[in-house]
Structure 1
Amino acid sequence: MTNKEETIIETLIDNNNQDQKSSSNRWKMAIILGGLSAFGALSIDMYLPAFPEIANEFQASPSLVQMSLTLFLIGLCVGQLFLGPLSDMIGRRKPLLIGLLSYGIVSLLCIWSPSIWMFLLLRFFQGLTASAGLVISRAVVRDLYVGTELTRFFSLLALVNGLAPILAPIMGAQLLGFMPWQGVFVVLCIIGLSMFGIVVCGLPDTLPAENRAQSGVRPALLSYSRILRDRTFMGYALCQGLVFASMFAYISGSSFIVQNIYHGTATTFSIIFAINGVGIMLASQVTGKLAGRFSERALFKTGLITSASGGGLLFIAFLNQAPLYVILIPLFFVVSSVGVVSTAGFSLAMESQEKSAGSAAAVLGVISLTLGGIVAPFVGMAGEYTVVPLGIITTLCGMGAMGCYYFFVRPSHLTDNRWELD
């Protein structure tokens, strides 16, 4: 073998080792950031099976216990709006570590709540602290990646994050089988403190000092003002929010539909819920694989079309009193479209937000949670034995997302040879 051939082989081996190291680092980062972004789902879904037990413990009405979920979501929104711009000013690491440590402490305090009112207050603060993982993890993704690589990595993140809403209710139900409701919050405390240790050891600050925003309330407000006046960004944010609202409506009403109207068992509902959750993850993975071959905008619009058409077909199926197996087909497409829209939409929305990634991630998160919270009560407005409101809401949200895209998102010219749906 000649020296030249040996050099070529050594170069190929080095490149292969670098690729393997890069792939390993991507997975490591995806697991850490996916775990951080899953705090919202874990904090909600794990304690839902404990509602009756919590109500008995505090001698409280079911509506008061349900208020703990509302206050958690309010805290999650408020926290993002505060911690997003703060992370742009002082870096990602400090507010993230403070948030995780505080989350662990607040989760522990929930165990010793002397009354339902203290429990409600602590749930608000738990949402406030959980927002650190949610908003800062997304800002870190924008710090590390841009363009197609951002789309691909976000799809990887969605794979890890997507396991939380599938596994959390199962974990919560299993824990309640051998311990009281306080055990759920002990586990949440352990998760928070464990993630604190993982971030200390494995996640450096990804925002260099020279790229940080000016500190102060006024610069933060100016940053939000600029983001809210960005027509293209707000278009993508509203589209994502409305598609997310369709999924939130499904979460709110699906248990009543499956069990009360179609007389399915709790196990049947759990299987359907898990299948749709897997659909979101698969859709996100397909989007990541196709990024680079097709433009992010084309993939995004495909997701919007899937959501709108799935909502319309679902509404028609409801009106015709179709059997459950027919209903599940368009419902699967409505829910799975979230994986496409969120993956491609995040990349497109964050493309121009390098200097204010934390604030922009906060706006994206708050809009989705707000729209989801608004539509959820309307699912049951006609009672728990009708499916029509869910069909109307998913249709309107899907069509509304399409309308927001064509009204707000400015046309952009094709700059490469990839397929575009313009």
Structure 2
Amino acid sequence: MSAGLVSATSRTGTGRLVLALGGLSAASPFATDMYTPGFPQILASFGTSGTAVQLSLTACLVGLATGQVVLGPLSDAMGRRRLLLIGSILFTVLSSACALAPSIAVFNAARLLQGVAGSAGLVIGRAVISDRFTGAGAARQLSVLSVIAMTAPVLAPVAGGLLLGVGSWRLVFLALAASGLLLSVAVWAWVPESLPVEQRRSGGLRAAVVAMGGLLRRRELIGYLLVMGCGLAALFAYISGSPFVFQSVYGLSSAGYGLVFATNAVGTVAAGVLFGRLARRVRLNTLLVVGVAVMVVSVVGLAGLLSAGVSTFSGTWVCLFGVTFGFGLVLPAATTIILAVGGAAPGAASGLLGGAQFALGAVAAPLPGVLGSTTAASMTAVVLIFVLVSALALVVLARPWEGHGEPVGRS
């Protein structure tokens, strides 16, 4: 076989691998966002409260957080491929259970387990990239996964709105089940084992937990985890609160809300693409600081408008676009830095990353409506708190000027 053919085959294999891992990374955002335009319909279907419906999002996020904390380090001991296959198959089964749920209690329980199953693709996908790539190559591939994961929120509410136009909210979860089945086939065909037996951690789960504990003794790692986790918590407060704000307060239809949400998510994707182009020339920590700063300025601006009694559809939309754009820089920058700092145990580092993200996201998701009806002010207050905590963690704990996680020669 010629060198050119070997190279082409290698590129094809890498492309298929990244495509499969990208699909796995998109599955959980789709499960999170695709059904949000149907919140009012779910409320009526089960005859429950808005807070109970928002708790279905919290349940999924708790599952995503718990699953990543356990499965990430477990994959360091057991390998990647088998856990990816199991997670994809269970995601299919549990999405079907959500579609068939007879009550809000059963629905929320199925959402919790769906989150656990979906977490495998997120946490182990990042670990596979860490196994296969290093340095700038790892940053590029992680950026690709981030852009794919951030594209999902663009498509999810639009797809959900289209499905709601032809059927009930249950059809959304049947579509998720079908996607889970396709991903199971893709993992089987395109994702080989990336962690050889001789490189796995002995001692099983106990050794994996010890490795995670070692990582948690590093101040800078905790700082970056909080920067990322609180940033995502702010985003989930926006995700859970915005359907009620834009539809109930500003009077948009479910399709109109899907357009608003998609436009803001395009901002996140655009920021991720910008990060991918700048990452080779600009320090990762600099890009992270810029992302956090954009989030702070945007949400402080929105809080100022609302405090002055200016509650308009356009003003709220523009400011929230700034929040989502800033997060588009924070996500790939913080992910790359955290995995580099925790490079001795990629699965454990990836598990901590996902656990911090979705544990804090689970806390934030129901807060916009915790005092009753969700308003622009209640949603903004929650987003503001988490963004300010993210900025504080950046300065006090992460200390980006120290250059943690930078490629060699760039610290």
Smaller-chain TM-score bracket:
0.7 to 0.9
- The one of 376, 381, 388 aligned to 1:399: 388
How much does 1:367 deviate?
1.2
TM-score (norm 1): 0.85
Write out per-residue CA displacement over residues 115-144 of structure 1, whole angstroms, 9 at most, x where no aligned residue: 554444333322221111121111112222
Give SS of 2:345's match.
helix
Give SS of 1:206's match.
coil
**CA pair 217-199 structure 1, distance change in 2 beyond 3 A:** closer
Give the whole-Å Cα distance in 2 for the aligned partners of 1:116 and 1:281.
33
What does residue 173 of structure 1 align with?
Answer: 161
What does residue 6 of structure 1 align with?
Answer: none
Please show how residues 82-121 of structure 1 align to structure 2 within 5 Å.
Answer: 82-113=70-101, 116-121=104-109
Write out per-residue CA displacement over residues 282-304 of structure 1, whole angstroms, 9 at most, x where no aligned residue: 10110110012111111111111
How much does 1:68 deviate?
3.5
- The one of 342, 346, 357 aligned to 1:357: 346
Q: Is the 8 A contact 2:158 2:262 kept in 1?
A: no
What residue identity is the alignment partner of 1:404?
A: A
Is 1:280 aligned to 2:268, yes or no?
yes
How much does 1:27 deviate?
4.1
Is 1:412 aligned to 2:402, yes or no?
yes
TM-score (norm 2): 0.87
> Which stretch of the first structure deviates more once superposed, 102-111 or 247-256?
102-111
Q: Is the 8 A contact 1:74 1:127 kept in 2?
A: yes
Is 1:247 aligned to 2:235, yes or no?
yes
Is 1:372 aligned to 2:356, yes or no?
no
**CA pair 23-289 structure 1, distance change in 2 beyond 3 A:** farther
Q: Is the 8 A contact 2:275 2:332 kept in 1?
A: yes
Give the whole-Å Cα distance in 1 for the aligned partners of 2:45 and 2:392.
47
> Which stretch of the first structure deviates more once superposed, 383-392 or 144-153?
383-392
Aligned residues: 406
Q: Is the 8 A contact 1:30 1:160 kept in 2?
A: no
**CA pair 24-300 structure 1, distance change in 2 beyond 3 A:** farther
Give the whole-Å Cα distance in 1 for the aligned partners of 2:347 and 2:366.
30
> Which stretch of the first structure deviates more once superposed, 188-197 or 313-322?
313-322
How much does 1:49 deviate?
4.6
What does residue 337 of structure 1 align with?
Answer: 326
Give SS of 1:362's match.
helix
- Structure 2 residue runs of 5 or longer lacking an equivalent are none
Q: Which has the higher contact order (CA 8 A, sep 6+)?
A: 2
What does residue 326 of structure 1 align with?
Answer: 315
Give SS of 1:355's match.
coil
Write out per-residue CA displacement over residues 4-33 of structure 1, whole angstroms, 9 at most, x where no aligned residue: xxxxxxxxxx88x88877765554333211
- Structure 1 residue runs of 5 or longer lacking an equivalent are 1-13
**Higher radius of gyration, 1 or 2:** 1
What residue identity is the alignment partner of 1:357?
A: P
Q: Is the 8 A contact 1:101 1:192 kept in 2?
A: yes
Give the whole-Å Cα distance in 2 for the aligned partners of 1:293 and 1:254.
36
How much does 1:415 deviate?
8.7
Give the whole-Å Cα distance in 2 for the aligned partners of 1:181 and 1:398.
32
Give the whole-Å Cα distance in 1 for the aligned partners of 2:316 and 2:245.
10
Give the whole-Å Cα distance in 2 for the aligned partners of 1:178 and 1:308.
39
What does residue 10 of structure 1 align with?
Answer: none
**CA pair 226-166 structure 1, distance change in 2 beyond 3 A:** same
How much does 1:60 deviate?
5.8
How much does 1:343 deviate?
0.5
How much does 1:187 deviate?
2.3
What residue identity is the alignment partner of 1:298?
A: T
